[in-house]
Structure 1
Amino acid sequence: MIRQPGTSGLIFNEPTVWDKSRDGRCALSLPRADVDRVPLNPALTGDAPNLPQLSELDVVRHYTRLSQWNFGVDSGMYPLGSCTMKYNPKTNEIQASRQGFAGAHPLAGEAFSQGALRLMYELEQFLAEITGFAGVTLQPAAGAHGELAGMLIIHAYHAKQGRQRSKIIIPDTAHGTNPAAATLCGYKSVNLKSGPKGILEPEAVAAVMDEDTAGIMITNPNTLGLFEEHIREICAIVHGKGGLVYGDGANMNAIMGVVKPGHSGIDVLHLNLHKTFSTPHGGGGPGSGPVAVTKDLIAFLPIPRVEKQLDTFRFVTDCPDTIGRMHTFYGHFGVMIKAYAYILSMGPQGLLDASRLAVLNANYIKECLKDTLNLPYDRPCMHECVFNDARQKNYHITTKDITKRLLDYGFHPPTVYFPLVVEGAFMVEPTETESKEDIDQFINAVKAIVKEAESTPEKLTQAPTLPKVTRLDEVTAARKPCLRG
């Protein structure tokens, strides 16, 4: 029997640092001064800040105990679908912490920033090669910011053609931030339903694509974890009416090294360095959402752009058709270093293997659980698989109950109730970094919970009971929020 990684050890209670504070305690000892002490003029300093007084041991134990309340990818499997919560190799952190990078100042000037500029330039070239596009910008700060940059480029392109358009097509299997990016650019979203196989039908796209439509925002693989098999035909339909195709590349981890979106007809694509290229995200650090474009759209990329002249790298701002700046300076440089290190350490074959293993792991979970949970689309998936709670409703158990109980088994819950096209969705993305042993533990936990739903459903409706924080009263939280400034 495979032992579950659930909580079984001590979980310390921990007060705030203010409650732990005691007058006279200090976490450091300064050497005795060898010069006379001269007090500062109070008019220059004002009142001293009210800080807690703690010993070094108080501080160490406080933050160590708090860290034990957290769950992260270093603790266990993080099966959040559509998020690609893969392991972040520690070598990436080592490279990003090197003094030459960590101590670089953004105002140092080009002459003193050649190493940083070279890294950004080469990273852009790597991403262009991986995706099959002609140009890349690293400026956008995260995925949604990349979506906005991409839509601004499409908006600028149509303006350059002399006639702006008013609509954008967005499938029901797209990511939720897509309509917001389109709206910020002044476009009206036209919702398009996917077909019975969970992918777009070319006939449906042709029926809504007209000369007043700027293009389509398509996520491929989509949020059902399915590859859009008709992508070339769909792109041809959109191009035939003068529109452009925006590709949401958040799920690139399934096709990295296998498919080049730029070769399938897509015009603009955003990437998530904090997903596909293994840099921390969520609570783990800032993101990065580079945008790749075809040759015809390079002129619209944000400025500054990094260019190479002989052996020198420099910023270029003389670009009359640019959409302008998207970020202070040139983006989240620390994240770029980690992605650069990841690509170099993996190499072309390693990136290809990562995608293949991500797809293999997702399909393994799908096959092992399709007789336990309901599988709305029983066909080969890509990086993630989507179940729902249709079979558990007879026991008055919901997806929420199942995922709350997973916390007691030591697993972070998967994504729930998304995508909206699947009622009660239970979306799992194991990524390539999980071993078969860890995936089997997750599968066994889900199967055990489903059995509990039939025999002792109260174990699910009252879960979780083992974590530091148990089930919250979400209704009261929504109606009577406790807001702190």
Structure 2
Amino acid sequence: MSFESLSISDLEQNNAFTRRHVGPGAAEQLAMLEQLGVESLDQLIAQTVPETIRLSDDLGMAAGIDEAEALAELKAMADLNQVNKSYIGMGYYNTRLPNVILRNVMENPGWYTAYTPYQPEISQGRLEALLNFQQMVMDLTGMPLANASLLDEATAAAEAMTLCKRSSRKKSNLFFIADDVHPQTLDVVKTRADYFGYELVVDAASNVAEHDAFGALLQYPGSFGDISDLGELIESAKARDIKVAVASDLLALVLLKSPGELGADIVLGSSQRFGVPMGYGGPHAAFFAASEKMKRSVPGRIIGVSVDSRGEQALRMAMQTREQHIRREKATSNICTAQALLANLASFYAVYHGPDGLKRIAERVHRLTAILALGMADKGLKTNACFFDTLSFEADAEVYERALARGCNLRVMNDKGANKGRFGISLDETTTAADVSELFEILFGENHDLNILNLDDRIRDGEAIGIRADQRREDAILQHPTFNRYQSETEMLRYMKSLENKDYSLVHGMIPLGSCTMKLNATAEMIPVTWPEFANMHPFAPLDQARGYHKMLKQLEEQLVEITGYDRVSLQPNSGASGEYAGLMAIRKYQESIGEGHRDVCLIPSSAHGTNPASAAMMGMKVVVTLCDEQGNVDLHDLAEKAELHAESLSALMITYPSTHGVYEEEIVEICQIIHKFGGQVYMDGANMNAQVGLAKPGLIGSDVSHLNLHKTFAIPHGGGGPGMGPIGVKEHLAPFLPGHVVSPIESLPAEGAVSAAPFGSASILPITWMYNRMLGRDGLKRSTEVAILNANYLAERLKSDYPILYAGRNGRVAHECIIDIRPLKEASGISEEDIAKRLMDYGFHAPTMSFPVPGTLMVEPTESESKLELDRFIEAMLSIRAEIHRVENGEWPLDNNPLTQAPHSQADLAADEWNRPYSRDEAAFPTERAKSRKFWPATNRVDNVYGDRHFICSCPDIESYMD
């Protein structure tokens, strides 16, 4: 068809975003369909997706629009936000991310499109950045061990509570929380404690030893600004055998004695103010540090130091990496997504500023606070005597209104009465002397007669410093060379680039991880994240200042309601695992409301994600595993039998659809009906929603609740292991039981029951999904799903003659992913799925998901964003690897010395003087012409996992090793 014959609407459609999001063009799709023996996408979908669940109508959404139009529409909403100067504090502060880090990490797809570093040989860069994060946290907290981040400060506090319990020898079920802990933290800890069966007591920190508790949570500095005598509190608690967790502030710890020095067992908090924008609540990396005795129980991911097959130092994720997948229903944590990208930002912030720069920032923040406090005292306004950056005081209620009129937000610490209120002011890195002068005018009027320079002179002479000499830090911090070498922008740029060069990401090629959709994160979707109107909003700012945010959030909820078929969506859970927890909580609260709180049995198929049984266990549920048949489907007879057996106590079924085995189960509607028949609710894990959007709706299939992995199906990038978002959709009867929020209540929900620190979780990344949905629109969303199914079936078809495809659905089709069974090959040749995974690196690919959900297999998910050219490159690699396995089977290469068991091959291998291998260096590093033309070099040889666990080190290597 000639362009002259097209109408203007046709021409505009050809400019649609869908054409750029979907990898295979029209000609490529036709070629792939021909390979599958079908004439159209419609025919393939009819053969693949059960008719009982297929939608008869298109999604009730608008057509997609192009990038410029969508950005303009979203910018108009962003402009509705009023970004005041924030003095609210409460764990969220204005900060300045150095531009060199902003441009080269936060806005760089080489960093934000990388996957969790399960394959360390091609992840050494981000592993080093995360190790720096751990070292930074260990130094500042004074603790010997730190993990690589958790979701936010509040959930980290909840994890600390459970760690205290399992580390305690006491039979007590009581957990103590100081009454100056941040209220949002208290809210989340209360939620978590309810279903663990813990009793909470909230009291003054000074009374910690008066309670027979197994653990205690203290805030240092406190939420109202006070710096307590932490050492005395910890000593009194330990005299009662109480484990002590301390929620703290990294910038304050630059100046204050560390909780570790003062005896804490656990130290946690948020690294947000180390350069990460507030973003209306996130994402931000929580930090979590603990004593040496707790190292095998610490939740989340820990980066450890090991060696590779050449004996060279290499990094990897250490033993606690996937606790929930190993321990399943015995797990005490369902942590899955961390906040790797944000932890990296915070670590680079510390590297760039170094110890002297951080101290300068901390001293400046504290000095301005001291100037403010001294001026307030001169005017008779009493504040807390000991402080770092936060002052609390009583003042006329009109002070708050005067602040608003000047574009400033103060914290309201209690309800403003007719005449008086209690308020807070928290200063930060961005505060200037002019801001302090403005605060004086807000507090005392324009004729206040307070002179900043005179007040500063008095402080330098030793008056009213806010931190007593015995509270000040005396030990050195951040002495490792990494934190002292890169203070020039040139050196910092080169350091970050050197790390980026060690990592494989979507900028290099396909990441075919099954169940963890690594699709295109379009640049247009990412742009709004750093808009100041979204980035610089405090999560507890007055609602009328966030009108743009709430308009966008409302539209996103409406989009997701339409896509899922549910009645309401909560955007609060900030990971898939958190979404699971929130969804099960809604089920349990609903059942309690109708007098069926005794229902506590959760049926889970044997193929389920590891977080499913972990989440159920955390909700106080008893997990009963149901069987799968030989085709990988839920065994309907076994399910019905167990549902009937537990009919009196059946609470829920957790099921993934399409199944974790990569097929659409034909009986899914009947499965839902069985559960409902016996009084249970259906939780449909949304990890595989990428194969439903536009074709089916979980809310119409029969499920009651699902979480949605926005970092998978809806294009939020993985960031090397986080951020993620796991909103939940629910049917109407569950809607009243969605998570609320105590600080910033959510419409029609109770002001409690939060699962995340902020009311909308990691709100600043939600524009990504809004853009994704808006640009693809009704037709593009459906086409994305169809092509995801096409790509997966094309791969399966091309590979099945050389590799067994473990499971297939109707007509021999798979859903959006397929499982390759390596077990027969391993039995015949001795080559394992790990050998194939490592060898793929030599061909320029990230490995598929290894040994999940079935040991000895590889699960491949190509997504809709990969072109036929890239799929063919992967197929070529897999077929070439199969030919290599034949050479091992035939005895041409010995099992202990061949390209697969020696993979991956590094530049050090090729540069070695000796080469005692039965294959050439060319075969090792350049197995195909395409591998040669776009070579990606693994940074290390195969990493020794056993060595790393036996010689556990989670800190930066010592200076001698670093110099060597």
TM-score by length of 2: 0.44
Aligned pair partner of 1:371 in 793, 801, 812: 801
The 3-state SS of whatever aligns with 1:386 is: strand
Match of 2:730 in 1: 293
CA, structure 1 residues 61+170, in 2 after alignment: closer, same or farther (shift >3 Å)? same
Moved more, 370-379 or 118-127: 370-379
The one-letter amino acid paired with 1:429 is: E
| CA–CA distance in structure 2, aligned partners of residues 303 and 46 of structure 1 | 39
Aligned pair partner of 2:667 in 201, 211, 230: 230
Match of 2:900 in 1: 460
Q: Deviations over 1:276-304 (max 9, x none)?
A: 10011252641110000001111111115
The 3-state SS of whatever aligns with 2:548 is: helix
Aligned pair partner of 2:880 in 433, 436, 448: 448
| CA–CA distance in structure 1, aligned partners of residues 621 and 723 of structure 2 | 28
Aligned pair partner of 2:652 in 210, 215, 224: 215
CA, structure 1 residues 275+317, in 2 after alignment: closer, same or farther (shift >3 Å)? same
Q: Deviations over 1:382-420 (max 9, x none)?
A: 110001213422111010101110011110000010003
Moved more, 185-194 or 322-331: 322-331
Q: Say yes or no: does 1:362 pair with 2:784.
A: no
Q: Could you tell me whether the CA contact under 8 Å between 1:74 and 1:87 is conserved in 2?
A: no
The correspondence of residues 180-219 of structure 1 with structure 2, limited to 5 A, is 180-209=614-643, 210-219=647-656
> Following TM superposition, by how much is the alpha carbon of 1:197 offset from its aligned partner in structure 2, in angstroms?
2.2
CA, structure 1 residues 101+269, in 2 after alignment: closer, same or farther (shift >3 Å)? same
> Following TM superposition, by how much is the alpha carbon of 1:46 offset from its aligned partner in structure 2, in angstroms?
7.2
The one-letter amino acid paired with 1:206 is: A
The correspondence of residues 69-218 of structure 1 with structure 2, limited to 5 A, is 69-163=502-596, 164-209=598-643, 210-218=647-655
Q: Could you tell me whether the CA contact under 8 Å between 1:173 and 1:194 is conserved in 2?
A: yes
> Following TM superposition, by how much is the alpha carbon of 1:207 offset from its aligned partner in structure 2, in angstroms?
0.5
Q: Could you tell me whether the CA contact under 8 Å between 2:663 and 2:814 is conserved in 1?
A: yes
| CA–CA distance in structure 2, aligned partners of residues 246 and 53 of structure 1 | 51
| CA–CA distance in structure 2, aligned partners of residues 42 and 129 of structure 1 | 65
| CA–CA distance in structure 2, aligned partners of residues 328 and 62 of structure 1 | 33
The one-letter amino acid paired with 1:62 is: Y
CA, structure 1 residues 99+372, in 2 after alignment: closer, same or farther (shift >3 Å)? same
Q: Could you tell me whether the CA contact under 8 Å between 1:372 and 1:447 is conserved in 2?
A: yes
| Percent identity of equivalent pairs | 40
CA, structure 1 residues 100+241, in 2 after alignment: closer, same or farther (shift >3 Å)? same
Q: Say yes or no: does 1:390 pair with 2:827.
A: no
Q: Say yes or no: does 1:402 pair with 2:830.
A: no
The 3-state SS of whatever aligns with 1:194 is: coil
> Following TM superposition, by how much is the alpha carbon of 1:53 offset from its aligned partner in structure 2, in angstroms?
4.3
Aligned pair partner of 1:60 in 493, 499, 508: 493
The one-letter amino acid paired with 1:442 is: F
Q: Could you tell me whether the CA contact under 8 Å between 1:402 and 1:460 is conserved in 2?
A: yes
| CA–CA distance in structure 2, aligned partners of residues 372 and 282 of structure 1 | 34
> Following TM superposition, by how much is the alpha carbon of 1:433 offset from its aligned partner in structure 2, in angstroms?
0.4
Match of 1:263 in 2: 700
Q: Could you tell me whether the CA contact under 8 Å between 1:201 and 1:230 is conserved in 2?
A: no
Moved more, 161-170 or 289-298: 161-170
Match of 1:412 in 2: 846
| CA–CA distance in structure 1, aligned partners of residues 952 and 690 of structure 2 | 38
| CA–CA distance in structure 2, aligned partners of residues 74 and 315 of structure 1 | 41
The one-letter amino acid paired with 1:390 is: R
> Following TM superposition, by how much is the alpha carbon of 1:72 offset from its aligned partner in structure 2, in angstroms?
1.0
> Following TM superposition, by how much is the alpha carbon of 1:256 offset from its aligned partner in structure 2, in angstroms?
0.7
Q: Could you tell me whether the CA contact under 8 Å between 1:85 and 1:431 is conserved in 2?
A: yes
Aligned length: 449
> Following TM superposition, by how much is the alpha carbon of 1:58 offset from its aligned partner in structure 2, in angstroms?
2.0
| CA–CA distance in structure 2, aligned partners of residues 405 and 319 of structure 1 | 52
What do you get for the CA RMSD once the two structures are aligned?
Answer: 2.9
> Following TM superposition, by how much is the alpha carbon of 1:315 offset from its aligned partner in structure 2, in angstroms?
5.1
Q: Could you tell me whether the CA contact under 8 Å between 1:272 and 1:289 is conserved in 2?
A: yes
| CA–CA distance in structure 2, aligned partners of residues 151 and 284 of structure 1 | 24
Q: Could you tell me whether the CA contact under 8 Å between 2:837 and 2:848 is conserved in 1?
A: yes
Q: Could you tell me whether the CA contact under 8 Å between 1:110 and 1:315 is conserved in 2?
A: no
> Following TM superposition, by how much is the alpha carbon of 1:168 offset from its aligned partner in structure 2, in angstroms?
0.7
Q: Could you tell me whether the CA contact under 8 Å between 1:273 and 1:279 is conserved in 2?
A: yes
Match of 2:772 in 1: 342
Q: Could you tell me whether the CA contact under 8 Å between 1:140 and 1:326 is conserved in 2?
A: yes
Match of 1:254 in 2: 691
Q: Deviations over 1:460-482 (max 9, x none)?
A: 11111131111012222222222
The one-letter amino acid paired with 1:437 is: L
Q: Could you tell me whether the CA contact under 8 Å between 2:662 and 2:807 is conserved in 1?
A: no
| CA–CA distance in structure 2, aligned partners of residues 74 and 182 of structure 1 | 37
Q: Deviations over 1:303-357 (max 9, x none)?
A: 159xxxxxxxx9546645x871111222101221111111101101111011111
Q: Deviations over 1:40-94 (max 9, x none)?
A: 9598797886551444322222211111111112221000111001110010111
Unaligned runs of 5+ in 1: 1-10, 27-35, 306-313
> Following TM superposition, by how much is the alpha carbon of 1:374 offset from its aligned partner in structure 2, in angstroms?
2.0
CA, structure 1 residues 448+318, in 2 after alignment: closer, same or farther (shift >3 Å)? closer
| CA–CA distance in structure 1, aligned partners of residues 872 and 878 of structure 2 | 10
Q: Could you tell me whether the CA contact under 8 Å between 1:231 and 1:264 is conserved in 2?
A: yes
Moved more, 217-226 or 51-60: 51-60
**Structure richer in helix, relative to its length:** 2
Shift >3 Å, 4+ stretches: 15-18, 38-51, 53-56, 314-320
> Following TM superposition, by how much is the alpha carbon of 1:454 offset from its aligned partner in structure 2, in angstroms?
2.1
Q: Say yes or no: does 1:476 pair with 2:916.
A: no
The one-letter amino acid paired with 2:904 is: P
The one-letter amino acid paired with 1:474 is: N
| CA–CA distance in structure 2, aligned partners of residues 206 and 168 of structure 1 | 13
| CA–CA distance in structure 1, aligned partners of residues 752 and 665 of structure 2 | 30
| CA–CA distance in structure 1, aligned partners of residues 755 and 490 of structure 2 | 44
The 3-state SS of whatever aligns with 1:246 is: strand
Q: Could you tell me whether the CA contact under 8 Å between 1:246 and 1:268 is conserved in 2?
A: yes
Q: Could you tell me whether the CA contact under 8 Å between 1:135 and 1:292 is conserved in 2?
A: yes
The one-letter amino acid paired with 1:476 is: Y
Match of 1:327 in 2: 756
Unaligned runs of 5+ in 2: 1-123, 136-350, 358-452, 466-471, 888-892, 907-937, 957-964
The one-letter amino acid paired with 1:66 is: L
| CA–CA distance in structure 2, aligned partners of residues 318 and 333 of structure 1 | 20
TM-score by length of 1: 0.86
Q: Deviations over 1:13-51 (max 9, x none)?
A: xx9999x99xxxx9xxxxxxxxx9x99959879788655
The one-letter amino acid paired with 2:626 is: L
> Following TM superposition, by how much is the alpha carbon of 1:148 offset from its aligned partner in structure 2, in angstroms?
0.3
Q: Could you tell me whether the CA contact under 8 Å between 2:741 and 2:752 is conserved in 1?
A: no
